[in-house]
A and B are shown apart, each in its own frame.
Chain A
Amino acid sequence: MQDAQKLKTTERRLRPKMIEGEHTFGTVSDRIGGITLKRRTPFGWFIGFGIGFLIVQVLMSTITYLLFTGVGVFGNNQPVGWAVPIINFVWWIGIGHAGTLISAILLLLNQKWRTSINRFAEAMTLFAVACAGLFPLLHTGRPWLAYWMFPYPSTMGMWPQFRSPLIWDVFAVSTYATVSLLFWYVGLIPDIATLRDRAKNKYFKIAYGLLSMGWRGSARHWHRYEIAYLLLAGLSTPLVLSVHSIVSLDFSVSQVPGWHATIFPPYFVAGAIFAGFAMVLILCIPLRVWYNLKDFITDAHLIYMGKVMLATGLIVVYGYAMELFFGWYSATEYERFMIYNRVWGGPYWWFYWLLILCNGVSIQFLWFKRFRESAFWLFIISLIVSVGMWLERFVIIITSLHRDFLPSSWGMYSPTMWDVSMFVGTLGLFLTLVFLFVRFLPVISIFEIRTLLPQANVHGHSEDFEENVIDVQDTEKT
C-alpha cells in the first residue's frame, strides 16, 4: 500500500441564502426604504391603485343600495339562509391566516426565510380581515347596531348569549384583528424610524415622526422590543389556530348534515393557511418583479412557500376524504344522502368536482421541481387554489343547506348581482389597501433583513453558524 497523502476535506451543505447580491446595512435600507421615499410615484402604481379604487366604488354603491333596501337584496332565502356573504367572510378570514402563520409561527420555529415576507403577509392579514369583517357586519342588516354584539351594560338589560358560536366569532375575529394590528405596528416602529430619518418631504417627516414615536434604536429599547415581539408571536400562535377553529364551530356546532363534523377545526385551519399562502404568492410574485426585490424575496422563498402550500393542501385533501368517510361510517341516512347529493346526485355536483380539481389535483404539480421552481406556475397554481378555496366553502355551506332533513323544504340557491358586486367590491378594497401600503410603508422588514446580513453577526460570519449548516460530510481523498 502506498503511503499516499491523505486529504481530509469537510463538505458542508448550507441552507440557501436568504439574501442574494452584495448588500450592506445601508443598501438594504435604501433599496426597501427607497420604494416609499422615491420622489416620483411610478406610473404603474397609479394604474393599479386606480383600478382598485374604481372597484371600491362598486362596493360603496352596493353598501348604499343594501342599507337603503335591506338584506333582501342578497340571494339568501329559505332553505339557504347562510349563503355567499358567509362564504366570502370565511374565504377572506382564511386568507388572513397565512400572514400570522408567517409572522408568528415561523418566527417561533426560527425560520429565517419568513423575514422577507412577513411584513406584507401581515399587511395582507389586516386587509383580508377588514374585508371579511364587512360581510357579517352588513349582513346583520342594521350595521349601526352592531355594537349590540359586544358585552356592555345596556339600558335594555340584555347581554350577548355566550353559548353561541356566533358570539365566539365576534370575540375571536375582533381579537384577531386587534392583535394582528398590534403585531404589525410593533414590527413597523424601527422601520418607520429609518424612513423618518431619511425622508425629505415635510409631511412624510411629520407622519413618520409621529408613527415612530421617537424610536432611536437604544439597546435597552431593543431588549424590551425583542421580548415583546417574541411574546406577541407566542400569543398569536394559539390565537390564529383558535380563530379559524371558532369560525368552523359556527358550522359544526349546528346539526346540519355536512356541517356537524369533528374534523372541522383542524381542517379549516389547514385550509386557511393553504389559501393564505396562495394569496401571499399572488401578491409577492408581481411585487418582487415590479419593485426589483428579487435580492430579498429570492427563488428559495417561493419554493418554500410552494412546499408549505403543498403540505397544507394535502391536509385539506385528507379532510375531503374524511368527510366522505364520515358520511359513510356514520350509518345515518341523512349523512349518507348529504355525501351522495354533494358528490354526484345533487344539482351542485359539478362544484364538488371543480373543487377537487382546483384544490386536490392542481397542487400535485408542486411535487415536481419544474413547477415548484417556476414563478409563473406557482402564480397560476395559487390563483387556482384561491378559486378552489372559495368553492370549498360553497360546497360546505350551500350544498349542505339546500337539501337537509325534510325533502318538502328543499330548494335551490343562486346569488343575486348584489352578492357578486359586494364580493368584487371587497377585492377592490383589498387591492386599494395593498397599493396604499406598498406606497407608504416599507414592504419588507428592513431591520430584520439587516440581521440576516453576514456582517450583522458579532465576531463571525453567517456561514460559520451552525443553524445554516444542513449536514456535514467528511470525505477523505487519496
Chain B
Amino acid sequence: MTFRIRKRRRIFVELICSQSRSSAVGTKGNSPVSNRLPAGAVDCEAKNMKENIYGLLAEFDTPTEMVEAANKIREAGYKKTDAFSPFPLHEIDEALGIKRSILPFLVLAGGVIGLLTGLGLTYFVHVYDYPIIVGGRPFFSLPSFIPPSFELTILFAAFTAVFGMILLNGLPQPYHPVFNVPRFALATREKFFLLIERRDEKFDYEETKSFMQSLNPQEVFDVEE
C-alpha cells in the first residue's frame, strides 16, 4: 500500500517536473514496442527511434539566428513548426506564419455579456423582483446602475482574456514531448529552439535532420514522444 502510494507520488512528481528528467519514462528500453521486436534485429534501435520521435528540435544562441532559421523553415514548406523563446519575439509570428489569435473577439464578447449581465441583474432586481423606491428615483434608475454594470463588464472581459488565453494555449499541460530534451530547460532561461513535428507532411527523419543542421544551429535534438 505504502509502496503504491509512493510510486504514484513519484510518477506525479515526474510528470509535474518532467523537464528535469534526463530520459523519458517508458521510452526505448522498456517501451512495449521494443519488447515486441525480434531480438537481434540490426536496425532495431534506429528504426525504433524514428517511431518514437515527436519531432526535431534545433537550438540557437540568439533570437536573430532563430528568426532567420525560422524564415528558412517556412520557405522550405514546413507547416507543423513551433519556436520556443524565453521572452516574446514579435518577429517569429511572421517568420513561422502564425495567424492572429481570435482572443480579442472573445474578450469583446465577454465584456458585452458582462455589461448585459449587469444591466439585466439590476433591472431584474429593482424593476421586476424587488421594486423599491430609494431617494425618489425611478425603478429603472440607470445612472445608479452604471457602476455595477461597468465593474461586471471589466470582470467578465478580464476572465475571458485570462482563461481564454490559457485554454487556447492548451494549458495546463504538465507534460509535453519537448520537455524530454534535457537542454530544453534552457528555453525558459536563455536559449532559443525551433521544432519541426513529425506529423508535418514534409517530415522525413534523415532529410529534415540534415536540413535543420544546415540552418547553423548549436545542436539538433531528437524529441522523443
Contacts and interface: CB of A to CB of B under 8 A. Distances in A.
Contact of A451 (B20, B88, B171, B176): B88
Main secondary structure of the interface of A (DSSP, over half): helix
Contact of B154 (A161, A179, A209): A179
Interface stretch (A49-57, A368-376, A455-463, A465-473): A455-463
B67 A217 contact: no
A223 B174 contact: no
Interface in B118-137: 121-122, 125-126, 129-130, 132, 134-135, 137
B189 A222 contact: no
A171 B162 CA distance: 20
A25 B189 contact: yes
Contacts of B129: 159
A249 B107 CA distance: 29
B174 A246 contact: no
Interface string B168-209: 110111111011000011111110000000000000000000
B85 A219 contact: yes
A199 B19 CA distance: 11
B20 A459 contact: no
Interface string A184-216: 011000100110111100100110011001111
A151 interface: yes
Interface in B96-125: 96, 98, 101, 103-104, 107, 111, 121-122, 125
Contacts of B91: 458
Contacts of B137: 163
Given A216-B176, A217-B85, A194 B188 contact: yes
Nearest to A220: B98
Interface in A253-310: none
Nearest to A190: B188
A151 B121 contact: yes
Contacts of A151: 121, 125
Contact of A225 (B63, B83, B88, B125): B88
A221 B129 CA distance: 45
Given A194-B188, A223-B98, A242-B147, A228 B130 contact: no
Given A162-B125, A163-B144, A214-B175, A227 B96 contact: no
Interface stretch (A138-146, A232-240, A344-352, A425-433): A232-240
B87 A214 contact: no
B164 interface: yes
A172 interface: yes
B87 A447 contact: yes
A182 B189 contact: no
A238 B172 CA distance: 30
Given A202-B13, A448-B87, A216 B103 contact: no
A224 B171 CA distance: 12
A125 interface: no
A217 to B, nearest CB: 5
B165 A186 contact: yes
A246 to B, nearest CB: 6
A236 B101 CA distance: 21
A222 B89 contact: yes
A455 B192 CA distance: 13
A178 B152 CA distance: 11
A384 interface: no
B211 interface: no
A223 B135 contact: no
A197 B20 CA distance: 7
A29 interface: yes
Interface string A153-179: 000011111111101100110010011
B44 interface: no
Contacts of A246: 147
A219 B13 contact: no
A225 B132 contact: no
A225 B165 contact: yes
Given A162-B144, A213-B172, A231-B107, 6 more contacts: A25-B189, A162-B145, A196-B19, A214-B176, A219-B82, A224-B165
Interface of A: 24-26, 29, 151, 157-165, 167-168, 171-172, 175, 178-179, 182-183, 185-186, 190, 193-194, 196-199, 202, 205-206, 209-210, 213-228, 231-232, 235-236, 238-239, 242, 246, 249, 447-448, 450-451, 455-459
Interface of B: 13, 16-17, 19-20, 62-64, 67, 82-89, 91-93, 96, 98, 101, 103-104, 107, 111, 121-122, 125-126, 129-130, 132, 134-135, 137, 141, 144-145, 147-148, 150-152, 154-155, 157-159, 161-162, 164-166, 168-169, 171-176, 178-179, 184-190
Q: Which 3 pairs between the two chains have the least Cβ-Cβ distance?
A: A228-B165, A25-B190, A209-B16
15 contacts: A25-B86, A29-B188, A159-B130, A162-B145, A163-B135, A172-B151, A185-B162, A197-B19, A197-B186, A205-B20, A210-B174, A214-B173, A222-B89, A238-B150, A246-B147
